[in-house]
Amino acid sequence: MVMSNPAAPGSFGDMGGDATPGFGSIIEQAQKMQAALLVAQQELAEARVDGDAGGGLVTATVNGGGELVGLTISPKAVDPADTETLADLILAAVRDATTNAHKLAEQKMAAATGGLGGMLGSLGGGLGGPGLPGLPGLPGAPGLG
């Protein structure tokens, strides 16, 4: 029976040099992906995404994390006798903006991970689930659940 020596060149126990080029490549790819995720996180933090309702009577603006940061209501949408319709328009605009922010986050994460974003999502339970905290668009991201 032949036993491998963990200290022998080319064995799993030797993590340095040319003995394990596949492992070094994996580490390098992971570092590149981490850098790309940090760039995507910063871009999403600075992003502003609009959604509207009522043909533009109400426009909501959210950041890349889905947090409401602005709301514009046209005077034409204000009818003191019908505040219920205005409330519906506001909700629809906010939902539209949030949906657009989710789409932007998915696109940024897919670009940053080279398409592995779906796999990351399944590991963490999907957007807003437990997973990688603090990275918008990734599992566990605040405001995306």
Give the pLDDT band (50/70/90) at residue 13.
Answer: very low
- In whole angstroms, what is the distance from residue 144 CA to residue 102 CA? 7
Q: Is 114 exposed, middle or buried (0-12, 13-18, 19+ CB in 10 A)?
A: exposed
Hey, what amino acid is at 89?
L
So what's the pLDDT on residue 1? 52
The answer to whether 64 and 45 have CB atoms below 8 angstroms apart is yes
Helix axes 21-46, 83-113, angle to 10 degrees: 160
Asked whether the predicted pLDDT for residue 136 surpasses 50, the reply is no
Asked whether the predicted pLDDT for residue 19 surpasses 60, the reply is no
* 84-135 pLDDT per residue, tens: 999 999 999 999 999 999 999 999 888 888 766 554 444 444 444 333 344 4
93: number of Cβ within 10 Å: 27
Average pLDDT rounded to a whole number, residues 53-78: 94
Give the pLDDT band (50/70/90) at residue 139.
Answer: very low
- In whole angstroms, what is the distance from residue 52 CA to residue 73 CA? 10
Q: What is the dihedral angle through the alpha carbons of 113, 116, 119, 124, rounded to the nearest 10 degrees?
A: 0
* 23-52 pLDDT per residue, tens: 888 888 888 888 888 888 888 889 999 999
Asked whether the predicted pLDDT for residue 55 surpasses 90, the reply is yes
